[in-house]
A and B are shown apart, each in its own frame.
Chain A
């Protein structure tokens, strides 16, 4: 009985203790505290020279972690026994607290003789250690840590127990709901949007807001949201290849680079001294991206799965290294890239401000959404889905898998080219470093995080992965950590993505006037003689 709680508490407490030590070693205690300080308005005034947030914020952070720890431990205890889950939470808190306290004592005493721990770990400056000790003596700090984590653990266990109590009292009617069709569930939620006029009004409203917003919120946000927009276009393009057609292409940045360099080389003084204008370069960029798509696709689309991923990964790198090489310096500008790219003009009006580019990106995003949404529910989109689900069967059903995949790749490449053209024109610069592997990885991440094959999912994913790091500037140093954490958490709790794809309900809407609600069980009895 109590042994079970002790065991669970020990295991969870140990793991959490290690996590807390790790977070401290990379200096996350400071970042997290300053975030909390900002949220609750408890930060030192901006004018003060003191960089560190108040120690009271660390108290909150440690308490929150303690509650989480206790809740995690209590969740592992099955059954409704109150003492057991609370005890597990408490023990977990005690163990984590002990680990943290011992660490605080050790690091506090190590600090005294004037040993500079920054030599070993950059985050362990003496200021940071003092902060971790709540600006107190090591023994006091150890006690505070122990107390906070133990109390937090107790509280966490209590919360879980209360939650269980509440759940068991509610009649449990939705046991099998999670197995029911996701398509149905989502569509019911947005039933109001079925009305065409309400929908169009909402579109119009959203559009007007998007037109007005960039004039209000300043150039910083225009830039950030513009970047998100470019990634939305990229994401929607890759979504057609990966999400719809199920072809894992890792060198997607190559098409982006083709677009960016097209506009760069055709609209700059160096190295080619061509001034063809933005709009022609836009068309040429897209055309070249499609051509690149064909070039990659023709030999590689016969490959499946991992092989395709590796070959396209190589292609992406080849393009980047080619752009960087000395051999091509005369044509591409080499490692220094291309500067002073001329922006677009319409009827003599020159695009120069961030607002102009925001509108340009908005147009591209709308175009990408239009293309993706029109195609996904069409004859062509269905062949992509069929290939994703089972290529062999798709072929035996009469789908020309190769040309269908090639089309997906070409459209995806075209959207990447479009994004690349706008990206280079907006930055007025592009270089090989804008087109490294991380772009492909980022785009793939946002498609997976948002929900493969889902247009709103991709948009949401772009905001989460490209927008959030901007919002949480403090987290910027931990972006990769954040990426990794987010992806792992996503895979565990929401493997289908933030906003998973849904399928349209064709039988109800198009095929039949009056829906017949036949339950599966009844149908089984009815048999085949319909």
Chain B
């Protein structure tokens, strides 16, 4: 199995705070890798390091065999790494289609002079890009809403538009930061199905930050748990669920023992009956 992304001992400090503390992460290609952890565990900071918004102080981030830490953000984006944001960050005062067109920016070639003269090449590229944007709108279920300003879209539609903008970059690696935040169970189920389609139909590798355990346990091929910036566990959903350190991180010290007791008692009850 190919590895698409590897982080080696990545560390990011904010003053005295170690937000990400020597994290090793290996993401295999065409899988969904989830990162979970309590609030403030450093998940989003790790995302920002990978997508180049932050430059980690230590460690190395290797994407398809080459180091990308320290590279400018836009060049990392040009390597087909796209992302969404925890609190939606669309380009609010331009239309939905234009948001997606900005997402396609790395794949468009015309220079400003060609745009000025409006060469046939420029016109063709522009038309193709609009067609592609409309296709993406359909794909995320926003047909017919493309000409609305992004800020006028309802919340769920904004989330999907953000994903459409990320997909416009034709990503190989997609970083989703809490895509189901603020959604009701029905919408969450839809989103889960959708993320699975991204992996299966488009072959995109996905790194997912998520708090909804139903989603995480349902679709992850691999789960990494962070707490206070440190990786405390890694493995498939089953292994993570029963990992005592994870339970302690979420529920406090002693919780693991308690939960074990509870599990045993339940087991006992079941066998007795």
Q: How far is the CB of B111 from chain A (nearest CB, A)?
A: 8
What is the total number of residues of chain A having a CB less than 8 Å from a CB of chain B? 52
Structural contact, A507 and B157, CB atoms closer than 8 A: no
Smallest CB-CB separation from A518: which chain B residue?
A: B144
Structural contact, A386 and B102, CB atoms closer than 8 A: yes
Indicate if A74 sits at the interface (CB-CB under 8 A): no
Neighbouring B residues of A506 by C-beta, 8 Å: 95, 97-98, 101, 130, 133, 146-147
Indicate if B257 sits at the interface (CB-CB under 8 A): no
Q: Report the Cα distance A508→B74, complex, angstroms.
A: 30
Binary interface profile of A, 381-408, with partner B (CB < 8 Å = 1, else 0)?
1110110111011111111110000010
Neighbouring A residues of B3 by C-beta, 8 Å: none
Q: Report the Cα distance A399→B165, complex, angstroms.
A: 13
Q: How far is the CB of B262 from chain A (nearest CB, A)?
A: 36
A389 contacts which of B92, B116, B118, B133 (Cβ < 8 Å)?
Answer: B92
Smallest CB-CB separation from B52: which chain A residue?
A: A396
Smallest CB-CB separation from A410: which chain B residue?
A: B112
Neighbouring A residues of B115 by C-beta, 8 Å: 374-375, 378-381
The answer to whether A399 and B137 touch (CB under 8 A), given A382-B101, A385-B94, A518-B145, is no
- Comparing B26-34, B57-65, B83-91, B236-244, the segment that makes contact with chain A is B83-91
Q: Report the Cα distance A180→B152, complex, angstroms.
A: 7
Smallest CB-CB separation from B125: which chain A residue?
A: A379
Smallest CB-CB separation from B165: which chain A residue?
A: A397
Binary interface profile of B, 56-77, with partner A (CB < 8 Å = 1, else 0)?
0000000000000000111011
Indicate if B140 sits at the interface (CB-CB under 8 A): yes
Smallest CB-CB separation from B109: which chain A residue?
A: A379
Structural contact, A528 and B141, CB atoms closer than 8 A: yes
B148 contacts which of A181, A395, A397, A504 (Cβ < 8 Å)?
Answer: A181
Q: How far is the CB of B208 from chain A (nearest CB, A)?
A: 16
- Comparing B38-46, B186-194, B221-229, the segment that makes contact with chain A is B186-194
Structural contact, A520 and B154, CB atoms closer than 8 A: yes
The answer to whether A386 and B131 touch (CB under 8 A), given A396-B53, A506-B146, is no
Structural contact, A375 and B141, CB atoms closer than 8 A: no
Structural contact, B112 and A390, CB atoms closer than 8 A: no
Indicate if B234 sits at the interface (CB-CB under 8 A): no
Indicate if B160 sits at the interface (CB-CB under 8 A): yes
Binary interface profile of A, 513-524, with partner B (CB < 8 Å = 1, else 0)?
001111010011
Neighbouring B residues of A172 by C-beta, 8 Å: none
**For residues 87 through 134 of chain B, which have their beta carbon under 8 Å from a beta carbon of chain A?**
89-98, 101-103, 105-106, 108, 110-112, 115-116, 118, 122, 125-127, 129-131, 133-134
B interface SS class: helix
Structural contact, A503 and B105, CB atoms closer than 8 A: no
A interface SS class: helix
Q: Which of B118, B148, B187 is packed against the most chain A CB atoms within 10 Å?
A: B148
Q: How far is the CB of B77 from chain A (nearest CB, A)?
A: 4
B102 contacts which of A392, A394, A515 (Cβ < 8 Å)?
Answer: A394
Structural contact, B137 and A179, CB atoms closer than 8 A: no
Q: Report the Cα distance A503→B148, complex, angstroms.
A: 9
Q: Report the Cα distance A99→B96, complex, angstroms.
A: 55
The answer to whether A507 and B118 touch (CB under 8 A), given A394-B102, A400-B74, is no
Structural contact, A392 and B94, CB atoms closer than 8 A: no
Structural contact, A401 and B130, CB atoms closer than 8 A: no
Indicate if A346 sits at the interface (CB-CB under 8 A): no
Indicate if A526 sits at the interface (CB-CB under 8 A): yes
Structural contact, A380 and B74, CB atoms closer than 8 A: no
Q: Which of B51, B72, B147 is packed against the most chain A CB atoms within 10 Å?
A: B147
**For residues 489 through 529 of chain A, which have their beta carbon under 8 Å from a beta carbon of chain B?**
503-508, 510-512, 515-518, 520, 523-524, 526-529
Structural contact, B53 and A507, CB atoms closer than 8 A: no
Structural contact, B147 and A181, CB atoms closer than 8 A: yes
The answer to whether A181 and B149 touch (CB under 8 A), given A397-B169, A506-B130, is yes
Neighbouring B residues of A527 by C-beta, 8 Å: 141, 186-187, 190
Neighbouring A residues of B149 by C-beta, 8 Å: 181-183, 503
Structural contact, A511 and B146, CB atoms closer than 8 A: yes
Structural contact, B93 and A389, CB atoms closer than 8 A: yes
Q: How far is the CB of B37 from chain A (nearest CB, A)?
A: 22
Structural contact, B97 and A528, CB atoms closer than 8 A: no
Indicate if A530 sits at the interface (CB-CB under 8 A): yes
Smallest CB-CB separation from B154: which chain A residue?
A: A520
B145 contacts which of A375, A398, A512, A523 (Cβ < 8 Å)?
Answer: A523
Indicate if A184 sits at the interface (CB-CB under 8 A): yes
Q: Report the Cα distance A388→B91, complex, angstroms.
A: 8
Structural contact, A395 and B73, CB atoms closer than 8 A: yes
Binary interface profile of A, 49-87, with partner B (CB < 8 Å = 1, else 0)?
000000000000000000000000000000000000000
B143 contacts which of A396, A399, A530 (Cβ < 8 Å)?
Answer: A530
Structural contact, A503 and B77, CB atoms closer than 8 A: no
Structural contact, B144 and A515, CB atoms closer than 8 A: yes
Structural contact, A507 and B146, CB atoms closer than 8 A: yes
Smallest CB-CB separation from B77: which chain A residue?
A: A398
Q: What are the 3 A-B residue pairs with the smallest beta carbon separation, nearest first? A: A507-B146, A511-B134, A378-B115
CB pairs A–B below 8 angstroms (17 shown) = A375-B116, A378-B116, A378-B122, A379-B101, A379-B115, A379-B126, A379-B129, A380-B115, A393-B89, A395-B72, A396-B83, A397-B103, A397-B106, A399-B74, A510-B126, A530-B139, A530-B143
- Given A392-B89, A507-B144, 11 other A-B residues pairs in contact with their CB atoms under 8 A: A183-B147, A374-B115, A374-B118, A379-B115, A382-B101, A395-B72, A395-B73, A397-B77, A503-B147, A511-B131, A530-B140
